[in-house]
Each structure stands twice: as structure tokens, then as C-alpha cells.
């Protein structure tokens, strides 16, 4: 009895071909294939056949096959059109960056006690403190460093 189980296959030729592909090209191909799968899944979830989707997208069926091959290099306009037609997100340009860039740091010259930040540009201490500290300015703006009495 024959089963439809895939067999493990090793080939030196295939290994050599993979060795010649740069990591960048491999990543591009992987992302293109994932994009094609996402589009194919959206077509299927809408209950459309490829020919029906071709009519809705105003494209030839051969173009749809090319899109779903995983090798097509989409234009931004095409991806935006597909997002609208399929009601899915393919581009993630609206995501906010979570990185923070610090231009300056506050440098402590002496141990400071009871420091309060009243706003980003002014530092004050609780009365009766004779400590001094160095203030380098707002962390997001470049300002010259200066000593402020407390």
C-alpha cells in the first residue's frame, strides 16, 4: 500500500544552489512567498476562486497566478489595491517605532538628594539642600552643559 507521505531527499546539487544564494536574497524570496500565501488565504476566505478574484481585481487570471507564485515583485500601488479589495493589511507603515534616541544624558557631579523634575527644562530641589548638580539639558535637545546651584 502506497502512502502520500513525503520522503526525505538529499541532493548535493540543491545544497550547492542554496549555498550560492545570499541571505538577503533568501530573505526577499521568503517574504515574497509569505505575501503570496497571505493573499491566497484572503482570496480563499472570501470564498472566491482565482478567476472570480481576477474579475474583481480587474486583472487577467495569468496575472493572479503570477502574484500567487511567490516570485512576483509587487508595486506599492498594487499592494494598497489588494489591501482594499481583500480587506487585509499587507503593508505595516502605520506602526509606530518603539525606539527612543537620547541626545544627551544628565550627568551627576555630586550625589543629589530630593531632586524633583518640575518640567523637562527646569530642575529644582527641595529647599535647604546645598548640593550642586550638573544639568545637561533636555534629553531630546542638544544644549550646553552648565552647573546649576541648588
Q: Given this model, what pLDDT does residue 36 score? A: 95
Burial of 43 (0-12, 13-18, 19+ CB in 10 A): buried
The structure's pTM equals: 0.54
**139 or 55, which is more confident:** 55
Nearest alpha carbon to residue 72 among 48, 38, 108: 38
Please measure the distance between the N-terminal and C-terminal CA atoms of the chain and give it in whole angstroms.
Answer: 89
Q: Summarize pLDDT for 27-82 with one digit per residue, the tens.
A: 998 999 999 999 999 999 999 999 999 999 999 999 999 999 999 999 999 999 99
Query: Where do the domains of the chain lie, and which CATH numbers do they carry?
Result: 23-86 (1.10.260), 99-150 (no CATH)
The answer to whether the beta carbons of residues 40 and 49 sit under 8 Å apart is no
Q: Summarize pLDDT for 71-130 with one digit per residue, the tens.
A: 999 999 999 999 999 999 998 877 666 655 555 545 544 444 554 544 444 444 444 444
Cell of 144: 550646553
> Phi, psi at residue 116, to the nearest 5°?
-120, 145
Hey, how many other C-beta atoms are within 10 angstroms of the C-beta on 115? 15
Q: In this structure, what DSSP letter does residue 103 have?
A: S
Question: 94 by DSSP, 3-state: which?
Answer: coil
Amino acid at each position: 500500500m502506497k502512502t502520500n507521505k513525503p520522503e526525505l531527499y538529499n541532493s548535493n546539487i540543491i545544497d550547492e544552489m542554496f549555498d550560492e544564494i545570499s541571505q538577503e536574497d533568501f530573505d526577499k524570496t521568503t517574504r515574497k512567498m509569505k505575501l503570496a500565501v497571505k493573499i491566497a488565504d484572503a482570496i480563499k476566505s472570501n470564498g472566491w476562486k482565482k478567476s472570480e478574484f481576477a474579475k474583481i481585481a480587474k486583472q487577467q487570471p495569468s496575472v493572479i497566478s503570477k502574484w500567487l507564485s511567490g516570485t512576483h515583485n509587487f508595486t506599492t500601488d498594487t499592494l494598497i489595491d489588494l489591501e482594499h479589495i481583500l480587506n487585509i493589511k499587507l503593508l505595516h507603515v502605520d506602526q509606530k517605532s518603539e525606539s527612543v534616541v537620547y541626545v544627551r544624558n544628565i550627568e551627576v557631579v555630586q550625589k543629589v538628594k530630593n531632586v524633583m523634575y518640575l518640567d523637562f527644562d527646569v530642575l529644582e530641589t527641595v529647599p535647604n539642600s546645598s548640593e550642586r548638580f550638573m544639568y545637561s539639558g533636555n534629553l531630546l535637545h542638544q544644549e550646553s552643559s552648565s552647573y546649576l546651584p541648588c
